[in-house]
Amino acid sequence: MIKLIKLFVEFVNINIIRKLISMKEAGSSTSRELSRPLLGQDDRINNDGIIPQLFTSVPALNDAASYLAQTTSLITGCFSDYSVERDSRDSVDSIMHSQELVTFSSGQTGESMEYSSNCHSSLSESSTSVPLLHDGVARDSTENPSQNAGALVQSNNNLPNGISIFQGLIERARRTVRGSADDIGWLQRASGMPPVEDGSERFTEILEDIRHGLHKLPNSMVYLLIPGLFSNHGPLYFVNTKMSFSKLGLACHIAKIHSEASVEKNAREIKEYIEEIYWGSKKRVFLLGHSKGGVDAAAALSLYWPDLKDKVAGLALAQSPYGGSPIASDILREGQLGDYVNLRKLMEILICKVIKGDMQSLEDLTYERRMEFLRKHQLPRELPVVSFHTEAGITPAVLATLSHVAHAELPSLSSGQSAKLPVVMPLGAAMAACAQLLQVRYGEKSDGLVTCRDAEVPGSIVVRPKRKLDHAWMVYSSLSNDTSEADASQVCEALLTLLVEVGQKKKHELAMKDE
């Protein structure tokens, strides 16, 4: 396709050059034809006058040939980066043809260049508009041929603007195609970040003990579950986990925060939650945040650690975009092709008007915002941290899975009690589609919304289970749960149990250093 474009443009340029050479050889005969009026006395178009009129602006046609040559080079240069195989001879030939055309068009006589310059200057001083007729030529019965030639020079002046628009379009396309390829996993490449430690094996052992009825979570602590983005619209978010903890005699709470608020606003609310819990129970708090909830909890501890260090025992982040999210970044990144359809405005209407949230809640999950925040505020080194991430499955069984997200109460006709109808959504299919998109576009494993590399918190104990779990599985129960595998409540319990062990180990290490 690129070669066809090159051949077409070169063919047009060569025809223009041949026409210019034949005009030069015509000599005085052409000059006499140029003096003919464009229109007759009866204001009817004269075919004998149209063709000579087009050649009154020889410098303008020379400039047009130059711009066509430059456009040829620009087009081939823009698309050369995306060609799979490219012959070096084709590239050399293209450059040589472009240079030859530019040289020919620039190597005109001084008289022609002076004429073109005069046309440009006279046109810039004129403020009158030129009426347009067919064939792109301006004609008027009162104008002479030289005035009509100025119209062609004026259209020639607009060519650089067209090229700049084309360059902007190409840049937007490149930015859209590139997406978040350079940002994913930036935490692993950043200097000064503490290394992570793999705790997957120990996590698996703890999970097996829990499934066999061996529970080790101490009841001397309070467990605070922090929901993620859009959790306010899912009434069953974390509900099963809280019920399971309550059956074990553990004090467990779900933070009632506005999930669509900014990270800093939620961080203040989480700080107040922790202080209120500690004031009422005199027990330290373990935090477990899912998705954006983990980011909010980490921000609370980073910003208010002097006030919370005696009240918080540890932090577990489950499927949290600690480094950022490619989904949020690709939607909100400026300078993309999506700007032509106001994609950002559409998201703003959806979040602010429909969901009644804050647009900053999504902006805070972009790579740009996360980089800016983590450069200023990092988690304290003495804080025990466990980070957990998964990879979504894309099997047909997953695509057919329905997640139970809410209850719909229906009035009963036979008795006074209302009947509950489960509200289900195909979240598994949606997460599988997003995971497949991220895999194809970036080659990154993810749970559908968060890539595995962005969910690993520097300095934390990382859990990388082999089991395929999507982003919604952790907080919503499925209508077809596999009893042979651990459920979400047991996974949360195992994460917090591992966090207790990490805290004890870190406490021992600090005591050894003090001695």
The separation between CA 153 and the C-alpha centre of its own chain, rounded to angstroms, equals: 42
* DSSP annotation of 139: -
Residue 288 has pLDDT above 60, yes or no: yes
- Indicate the pLDDT class of residue 234, thresholds 50, 70 and 90: confident
Q: What is the pLDDT of residues 85-104, one digit of tens each?
A: 444 444 444 444 444 434 43
- The answer to whether residue 422 scores a pLDDT higher than 60 is yes
* Exposure b/e, 15-46, CB count within 10 A at least 16 = b: ebbeebeeeeeeeeebeebbeeebbeeeeeee
pLDDT at position 161 is 64
* DSSP tag of 61: H
pLDDT, tens digit, 9 for 90 and up, residues 488-502: 999 999 999 999 999
Span 332-347, pLDDT tens digits? 888 776 666 566 677 7
pLDDT confidence of residue 87? 43
Helix (H/G/I), strand (E/B), else coil: 404: strand
Using a pLDDT cut of 70, give the percent of the chain over it.
60
Contact in structure between 460 and 196 (CB atoms under 8 Å): yes
pLDDT band of 128, cuts 50, 70, 90 = very low
CA-CA distance, 469 to 18, in Å (whole number)? Answer: 68
Mean pLDDT (the chain) is: 75
What pLDDT is attached to residue 119? 39
Task: For residues 176 and 330, give the distance between their C-alpha atoms in angstroms, rounded to a whole number.
Answer: 8
The residues, ordered by sequence, that sit 6+ positions from 144 with a Cβ below 8 Å of its Cβ are 37
202: which 2 tokens? 């120990």
Residue 103: the pLDDT is: 41
**Is the predicted pLDDT of residue 325 greater than 50, yes or no?**
yes
In this predicted structure, the answer to whether residue 21 has a pLDDT above a threshold of 90 is no
Higher pLDDT, 510 or 57: 510
Burial class (CB in 10 A: 0-12, 13-18, 19+), 2: middle
Q: Is a pLDDT exceeding 50 seen at residue 136? A: no
499 within 8 A of 509, measured Cβ to Cβ: no
pLDDT value at position 416? 58
How far apart are the C-alpha atoms of 429 and 448, rounded to whole Å?
A: 10
Report the candidate in 213, 380, 234 with the shortest Cα–Cα distance to residue 300.
380
- What pLDDT sits at residue 152? 41
pLDDT, position 346: 74
What is the reported pLDDT for 93?
46
Interval 156-203: pLDDT, tens = 444 456 567 777 778 888 888 888 999 999 999 998 899 999 999 999
Place of tokens 């007759």: 40
Question: CA of 101: how far to CAs of 22, 67, 74, 155, in Å?
Answer: 17, 9, 14, 20
Whether 392 contacts 432, CB under 8 Å: yes
Q: What is the DSSP letter of 196?
A: P
Determine the Cα–Cα distance for residues 218 and 499; give it in Å rounded to an integer.
Answer: 12
pLDDT band for position 268 (50/70/90)?
very high
Q: Taking each helix axis as running N to C, give the angle between helix 2-26 and helix 88-106, from 0 to 180 degrees, rounded to the nearest 10.
A: 30
Would the pLDDT of 356 be above 90?
no
pLDDT score for 260 = 84
Full DSSP string of 124-178 = HH--PPPPB-GGG-B--TT--HHHHHHHHHHHHHTHHHHHHHHHHHHHHHHHHHH
Residue type, 71: T
In this model, does residue 403 exceed pLDDT 80? Answer: no
Please tell me the predicted confidence (pLDDT) of residue 297: 97
pLDDT of residue 349: 72
According to DSSP, the residues that pair with 290 across neighbouring strands are 318
For residue 496 the two structure tokens come to 């917090």
When mean pLDDT is compared across 368-372, 402-406, 505-509, the lowest value belongs to 402-406
Quote the CA–CA distance of 399 and 432 in Å, as a whole number: 7
364 has a pLDDT exceeding 70: yes
pLDDT of residue 428: 80
Model pLDDT for residues 468-485, shown as the tens digit of each residue: 999 988 888 766 666 788
Point out which residues pair with 424 in neighbouring strands.
Answer: 404
CA distances from 172 to 5, 58, 146, 176, 424 (A): 21, 36, 41, 6, 39
d(CA 62, CA 96): 18
Class of domain 186-404+424-512: alpha beta
Label residue 133 by pLDDT band (50, 70, 90): very low
How many whole angstroms separate alpha carbon 224 and alpha carbon 492?
12
Which pLDDT value is given to residue 497? 97
Better-scored residue on pLDDT, 120 or 281:
281
